[in-house]
Structure 1
């Protein structure tokens, strides 16, 4: 992963951005513990609850966490800590939140549903549908964009992009021109020759979808994903505001108290690569279909989706051993295998996974950011807890 950059927030704490998204001190434990005692409902699985309680007490860890498990028609919710340090209220399944790079699964869903409708083919190239993009990129295929083997340079690491964010984190970008920040560069490696996660890939995917349909990407999301799955609280905003109520996201840098950075950044700078806002309830419904819901994709397209590159990890890495497919990752844990995506964004870290038959699903959301380059010890702890939740999901 390329180096992260520092962006000054509108108050006092440096806001850390990782290129995966645009890319708790004792005081925090004191803050959340009284709320837990009164606001966190008892869990049927005490061991899982103790892990969540421990996670929010971890120095530099999240003020709050919520995990939603669905097993057939049965739903269980596990939570600890707070959604808002000011009011002390607990996280809820209907809280809006930034889903970060899980948005890449949504752009993948749009593209693959267009493949099923014969509007796109996986071997279609950038040159066929987006001839105005650099000639050096023209042979890159939709398949290579979806499995991050394209070689496209990552716009979110471009110095000019970072400079704009440093000057004004709420800057409103023209989302359809984000690739202009790297349009003077060739491919980082021959297309298809290696795996390298890039935020540019899913911008190009969305632009290809627009090119073949003549419809804005936001409308395609609504027609091909939101409405078929009844996702009523999911959207792709352009600004920095979040719909109410929302799970507040925090920069947690001990010994300072957590700083609310929920609305520091404009979503226009990540768009199809990380700008979607959803809720645990909606995200869980999406990942059931994306991981294996019957009728969402054809069997042939599903087979192509699940052609995995061993060792290709999502960003941040998910539980167990990771492998990358077409806008989906396979997570092989000690208890079994699930499919989905992770994401991190200033204030948020996400996991959304489901089983291959679409009958079981898990979303796991914390309200601070972690990645392999930012708080790696916290990420290791989060991944271990996530794996235990996957085991609970798969348990009969």
Structure 2
């Protein structure tokens, strides 16, 4: 894998580093074309406005897929050094949309009766603190567990800040908060926590005796035909990749694509994929292709709760999935953000229409609230185009 050329150290603050942790199936690239006609022109304008906004991403690629066609909207570039455009087979960090993958693994195991939604941490992971033992898989998947977020641990922040390439033992990440009490009584309220999906992956491993990475390959990647999706431990990205940037005007954008290793986020945000693969994934995942109707029904028991960052429209939380109710209708999916990347994956509940929307700078309420508001507005317009409504 080609190594990066020498460059100055990026401007990654501790806040940005912590926020990093806080992402019939037709191949999306096979017959893709730039969205034509007046609607396509409007989407292109909206995409370009986002790229041109203060602190906006150097690049954007959106893939809209229905039963008949794939539309691709691009703005900006995949790599400022070369000026090449974003492509559907570019690798990228998918951030907290990786939480949908860990939920897909767990819910498939529930469907096969290897796990139960009411299984507890005490049963599956008795080595965890006694105070956590009554937390259930259902609560982990819906972010109502009360588990303290390990990415907010001062010790974790110090290690990442001192060495962004530090290799963590991914299966010991919860040790950083093992001495902390639960934030609230399990099931009593919603609070998004990166610790939840680490625990989900560990429960899946405990139930099957199989490494999480292999569960991903056998239960998700192969059934959905994902060819370019992986869960690395290091910080390198496979070529070609969509370069991610820290954009903080008036300084020039700084390439941060390979500034953080994946071992510190693992099942909560470490997956690398492509727009084409994410299109395949979200169509199968949101459409319920991996498990039966009973599990799908449990997954879609909605409560108030937003993904991080919030998706378009009004957000509601299910089990490893969110409902985004826009002015044009509802789609199901997940969002995520990581230094250099912000992601949205969404599809209609039947999986027949899908949208993946990727930009190459980190955008969330803490770092770039104005850009996030604009991003959600643009995403809503894309959802309306996907649903063929104004």
CA contact (8 A) 2:35 2:71 kept: no
CA distance in 2, matches of 1:324, 1:237: 28
Q: 2:292 pairs with 292, 295, 298, which one?
A: 298
Determine if the alignment matches structure 1 residue 391 to structure 2 residue 388: no
Relative to 1, partners in 2 of residues 1:389 and 1:41: Cα closer, same or farther, differing over 3 Å?
closer
Relative to 1, partners in 2 of residues 1:325 and 1:19: Cα closer, same or farther, differing over 3 Å?
farther
Determine if the alignment matches structure 1 residue 169 to structure 2 residue 164: yes
Secondary structure, counterpart of 2:290 in structure 1 = coil
Supply the RMSD in Å over aligned alpha carbons: 1.4
Relative to 1, partners in 2 of residues 1:168 and 1:281: Cα closer, same or farther, differing over 3 Å?
same
Deviation at 1:73, TM superposition (A): 3.3
CA distance in 1, matches of 2:12, 2:147: 29
Relative to 1, partners in 2 of residues 1:300 and 1:387: Cα closer, same or farther, differing over 3 Å?
same
Cα deviations by residue, 1:44-72 (Å, 9 ceiling, x for unpaired)? 31111011111111110000100001011
Equivalent residue pairs, number = 370
Q: 1:99 pairs with 87, 94, 108, which one?
A: 94
Q: 2:111 pairs with 102, 112, 116, which one?
A: 116
Q: More displaced, 80-89 or 14-23?
A: 14-23
Q: 2:63 pairs with 68, 76, 81, which one?
A: 68
Q: 2:373 pairs with 342, 356, 380, which one?
A: 380
Cα deviations by residue, 1:120-150 (Å, 9 ceiling, x for unpaired)? 0000000000000000000000000000000
Counterpart residue number, 2:29: none
Counterpart residue number, 2:79: 84
Deviation at 1:12, TM superposition (A): 4.3
Q: 2:129 pairs with 122, 134, 145, which one?
A: 134
Cα deviations by residue, 1:266-320 (Å, 9 ceiling, x for unpaired)? 0000000000000000001100111114x4220000000000102x000000000
Counterpart residue number, 2:148: 153
CA distance in 1, matches of 2:71, 2:35: 11
Relative to 1, partners in 2 of residues 1:107 and 1:199: Cα closer, same or farther, differing over 3 Å?
same
Secondary structure, counterpart of 2:343 in structure 1 = strand
TM-score, length of structure 1 as denominator length: 0.91
CA distance in 2, matches of 1:340, 1:42: 22
Secondary structure, counterpart of 1:269 in structure 2 = coil
Determine if the alignment matches structure 1 residue 185 to structure 2 residue 189: no
Deviation at 1:14, TM superposition (A): 2.7
Secondary structure, counterpart of 1:191 in structure 2 = coil
Structure 1 runs (4+) greater than 3 angstroms displaced: 18-21, 40-44
CA distance in 1, matches of 2:200, 2:52: 40
Give unpaired runs (5+ residues) of structure 2: 1-6, 23-32
CA distance in 2, matches of 1:20, 1:12: 16
CA distance in 1, matches of 2:10, 2:202: 37
CA distance in 1, matches of 2:36, 2:166: 42
Relative to 1, partners in 2 of residues 1:20 and 1:193: Cα closer, same or farther, differing over 3 Å?
farther
CA contact (8 A) 2:10 2:256 kept: no
Counterpart residue number, 2:333: 340
CA contact (8 A) 1:99 1:274 kept: yes
CA contact (8 A) 2:232 2:272 kept: yes
CA distance in 1, matches of 2:245, 2:315: 27
Counterpart residue number, 1:323: 316
Where do 1:272-291 residues align within 5 Å? 272-291=267-286
CA contact (8 A) 2:228 2:273 kept: yes
Counterpart residue number, 1:22: 21
Deviation at 1:20, TM superposition (A): 5.2
Determine if the alignment matches structure 1 residue 230 to structure 2 residue 225: yes
Relative to 1, partners in 2 of residues 1:19 and 1:322: Cα closer, same or farther, differing over 3 Å?
farther
CA distance in 2, matches of 1:196, 1:18: 20
Counterpart residue number, 1:219: 214
CA contact (8 A) 2:18 2:157 kept: no
